[in-house]
Each structure stands twice: as structure tokens, then as C-alpha cells.
Chains A and B, each alone.
Chain A
Amino acid sequence: MNGINCQDRERIFLDGTAEEWTALERHAADCPACAEEVRAWKSLSVAAGELRDHHENTALWTRIEHSLREQQQHKARFWTRLAVWNGISLGWQTALVGALALVLAVSGAYVIRHGRDRSAEAGASKLLKNSALAEVERTEREYMKAIDQLAVEAKPQLDSSSTPLMASYREKLVVLDSAIDELREQAQQNPSNAHLRYQLLAMYQEKQQTLQDVLETKK
């Protein structure tokens, strides 16, 4: 005897080894009930073959290839755009960044103007106290003075050079000055608004950096 009986059948169907299957088949040769069960079980595997249709379809590959190439090109276009940005001269990049800064400043000013009423109600915590305000204004004046000094130093370089880089620096400074003027005007109307001051500080820092870049170029 091979040690397999009818009780082992289901277990072998579930997870039997090759040896167990052989033993079950040997047992089934003398057991009509197991023979029928094994036949029915196997018949499902044979019937499954009816669902196998592995014929070639080259037309589908053509379609897939086309869509793959399209997707690849789409991906490549993104990187090309990025490469185009890197290929732009520093001057133009600066000009574009300046323009972006202007857009941000204008939209910031708009948001601030329209949100003023709400921010006024937002509580004293957001407003600068009188003593703090005096300190901020004093520091701001000093900062402005330092930047003006920097501007004086950079002026000959900006005026004399006609390179595209200098042109873009000039343009950027004009844009920044205009944004600063607008923000200062806003700040005068609402001196305790901390957000405005931060915005102004950012503009001053940007101007300072630009002037330093101009002077660096000179060196």
C-alpha cells in the first residue's frame, strides 16, 4: 500500500506534492470514489485550456508603441523645458525672476489691502506695539540708508555698462523700487501691520542682493 487513503484526497488537491499525487492516483486505481474525484478535479485544469488563446496580435503592439512613444516625448518635453531655462543667460533669468517678484509683490499688496480690515480685527498680537514700531522704523531707515549707499556704489557700473546682464539688473532694480514704494505707501497707511513690514523687508533684501551682485560683476 502507498499509505494514501480517501481522507488524504482533499489535502492533496489543496497542496499535494508530486509524490503524493502519484500515490493518490495509485490509490484511485482501486477506489472508484477517489478515481471520480481525481478525474473531476483534473478535468477543470483541462477545461481551463479552453480559455487559453495566445494568438499573435501585431496591430496591438503598433498601438502600444505609438502611445509609449507619445508618453516618452511628453516626458522629454518637460525636461527640455527645464533645460531651456538653464540655457537662458543669467541676465534674462534675473529679469524673469524680477518680473515674478513684481507679480508677487503686486498680488501681495492686493491681498494685504483687501485683508486689512480683517487683519485689524485679528487682535493686537498681529499689530506692532508703539515701541516696537519705532524700533522697526528706525532699523528700516538705517537699512534703507545702507542700501542707498550700496546703490551709489553700484550706480557707475549700472550706468556705464550696456551688457544684457546689466540691463536686466537695471530693470530688476526699477521693478523692486516700484514695489518698495508701493509697500511703503501701504505701510504708512497702516504702520502697525507686521505682514507689510515683512514684505518690505523681503523687498529690501532682494534689492540689497541685486546691488551686491552688480558690484560682484564689476569685480
Chain B
Amino acid sequence: MASVGLTLQWEHRISPVGGEGASRVQSTETDDRSNPTSRATPEDGALAAGCLAGDMRAYEQLYAVQGARMRNLARNLLGTQSDAEDAVQETFLKIQRGIGSFRGQSSFVTWAFRILVNTCYDMRRSKVRRKEHSQDHSEESAPREPRAPGAHPTLRMALERALGQLTEHQRSVFLLYEVEGFRHSEIATMLQISETASKNTLFQAKRNLRGMLEPPRSAEAGGAR
């Protein structure tokens, strides 16, 4: 089975217990999450103020700092690069339209990602509706677009397939936390859920993913080990 192969591949990447990978799975809010700009900082406030004033450089700065992460998240939620780019573009337009309503309850970046996630959900739903309407089943099995070279294709594809079987919420929380490095407090704001719900959802997502990706114990015992 493919999953056995995956397990073997993972062996090369996973550090032993207590190794360098440990920091990513340790305490949810005490670890050093990857992007400091996702927290409300003076720079964050300046960015919001710039956008509110209609300063194009502020939008450019937002794109420079968060654009790649936004595109990556959208790509993982929507499946194709072109849809992801449309979603990011639409998000920037929504930010420009709605910046007046930003009250600073969260960081500006978190607010922007919340818009992005909602935009992706909307696009996904309208895509599903369109598919249902046109009864075009040929597109349904269309493979996801290849990503940048360098990523491990088999593992990535298996993970993408498994992610596709999670619920929308589980997928979003997993991607936001594990891939994009947001904290649970930020994810809670973005998805309008509690922090506890975010932690629970991540736990469920990982348990489901593990069930889908890991081989049965007996097979592993005979193969990988």
C-alpha cells in the first residue's frame, strides 16, 4: 500500500523523539510560531493605518510580508494555483473595501487571513455548486496542480489527498497551524471559534490524518521497522 511507502519516506525526515522537530509539536501557545507579523505589533498597526489611508505602498508591504503565505494557504484550500491567485486578489480587494470596518480587535494580518479563509470557502462552495449545476464529472477527478520542485511528491500528494477527506474546519485548522504557523489564538479569531475548539479540531484533524496515512500496526511492524 502507498501508506507503507509513505511511512518509510517519513522515517528519513522525522527526527527521533526529543529532536529538532519537537518544537513544532510542543505547547500550542508557548512555541515559537513562524511568523511574528501575525501578532498585533506597531508595524501591524502602521500597515493597517496605511491601508486605511489608501496608501498603495501599505498594500504592497502587506503582500511582501504575507502574500506568499496567503497564496500558499489559498492553494492548499482550493487546490489550484490559479484559484489561489484569484482568492488572494479578491482578498486584497475586500481588504480595501472593508478597511474602514477594521476596529483593531485582532491584528491586521489575522483580520486579512480571516477574509482570505472566508473568500476561499466562498470560492470552494461556488465551485462545487457550478460543478453540480453543470454535472461535469470529468473535472471532479482532475488532479491537483504540481507544486514547486523540491517538495517530496509522494508524501505531499498523499497528504493532500488525506486533507481532502477532512472536514472544512479540520483542514483549515491543520493548514493554518501546521503549515502556516499561526497560533491557536489567531486561528480562533480567523475562524470565529474558541481557542479550545481550535485545539480540539487540530487534534481531531491529526488523528484522522494519522489514521489515513499511517499503515496498520502489523504491516508497519513487518515493513518499516
A binding-site residues for B, Cβ under 8 Å: 13-22, 25-26, 28-29, 35, 38-57, 60-61, 63-65, 67-69, 71-72
Q: Does chain A have a CB within 8 A of B206?
A: yes
CB distance from B210 to the nearest CB of A (A): 6
Q: Does chain A have a CB within 8 A of B13?
A: yes
Residue of A nearest to B195 (CB): A15
Complex partner residue of B203 from A13, A21, A39, A55, CB under 8 angstroms: A13
Question: Could you say which of B15-23, B105-113, B114-122, B128-136 contacts chain A?
Answer: B15-23
Question: Could you say which of B38-46, B54-62, B186-194 contacts chain A?
Answer: B54-62
Q: Does chain A have a CB within 8 A of B179?
A: yes
CB distance from B67 to the nearest CB of A (A): 7
Q: Is the CB of B25 within 8 A of A68?
A: no
Q: Is the CB of B155 within 8 A of A16?
A: no
| Complex-state Cα separation, A56 to B60, whole angstroms | 13
| Complex-state Cα separation, A54 to B88, whole angstroms | 14
Q: Is the CB of B156 within 8 A of A51?
A: yes
CB distance from A54 to the nearest CB of B (A): 4
B binding-site residues for A, Cβ under 8 Å: 10, 13-18, 21-22, 24-28, 30-31, 54, 56, 59-60, 63-64, 67-69, 71-72, 75-76, 85, 88-89, 92-93, 96-97, 147-148, 151-152, 155-156, 159-160, 163, 174-175, 178-180, 196, 199-200, 203, 206, 209-210, 213-214
CB distance from B100 to the nearest CB of A (A): 11
Q: Is the CB of B85 within 8 A of A50?
A: no
**Sample (6) of A-B pairs whose CB atoms are under 8 Å apart:** A45-B25, A46-B15, A65-B59, A65-B60, A67-B93, A71-B97
Contact A51 to B88, CB < 8 A, known contacts A29-B17, A45-B24, A46-B10: no
Chain A residues whose C-beta falls within 8 Å of the C-beta of B13 in the assembled complex: 43, 46-47
Q: Is the CB of A69 within 8 A of B56?
A: yes
Contact A60 to B71, CB < 8 A, known contacts A15-B28, A21-B27, A43-B14: yes
**Which 5 A-B pairs rank lowest in CB-CB distance, beginning with the nearest?**
A48-B178, A54-B68, A50-B156, A21-B26, A18-B27
State the majority secondary structure of interface residues on B. Answer: helix
| Complex-state Cα separation, A104 to B52, whole angstroms | 40
Q: Is the CB of B63 within 8 A of A46?
A: no
Complex partner residue of A42 from B14, B31, B71, B156, CB under 8 angstroms: B14
| Complex-state Cα separation, A26 to B18, whole angstroms | 8
Chain B residues whose C-beta falls within 8 Å of the C-beta of A29 in the assembled complex: 17-18
| Complex-state Cα separation, A40 to B28, whole angstroms | 18
CB distance from B10 to the nearest CB of A (A): 5
Q: Is the CB of B72 within 8 A of A53?
A: yes
| Complex-state Cα separation, A218 to B13, whole angstroms | 91
Residue of A nearest to B16 (CB): A39
Chain A residues whose C-beta falls within 8 Å of the C-beta of B67 in the assembled complex: 57, 60-61
Residue of B nearest to A35 (CB): B17
Q: Is the CB of B89 within 8 A of A60?
A: yes
| Complex-state Cα separation, A38 to B22, whole angstroms | 10
Contacts A48-B178, A65-B56 aside, 11 further interface pairs with beta carbons under 8 A come to: A14-B203, A17-B27, A19-B27, A21-B25, A26-B18, A48-B175, A50-B159, A51-B160, A60-B67, A64-B92, A72-B96
CB distance from B94 to the nearest CB of A (A): 10
Chain A residues whose C-beta falls within 8 Å of the C-beta of B25 in the assembled complex: 21, 41-42, 45
Q: Is the CB of B22 within 8 A of A42?
A: yes
Q: Is the CB of B89 within 8 A of A51?
A: no
CB distance from B4 to the nearest CB of A (A): 14
Chain B residues whose C-beta falls within 8 Å of the C-beta of A71 in the assembled complex: 93, 96-97
Q: Is the CB of B22 within 8 A of A25?
A: yes
| Complex-state Cα separation, A172 to B14, whole angstroms | 84
Chain A residues whose C-beta falls within 8 Å of the C-beta of B71 in the assembled complex: 57, 60
Q: Is the CB of A44 within 8 A of B56?
A: no
Chain B residues whose C-beta falls within 8 Å of the C-beta of A35 in the assembled complex: 17
| Complex-state Cα separation, A25 to B93, whole angstroms | 47
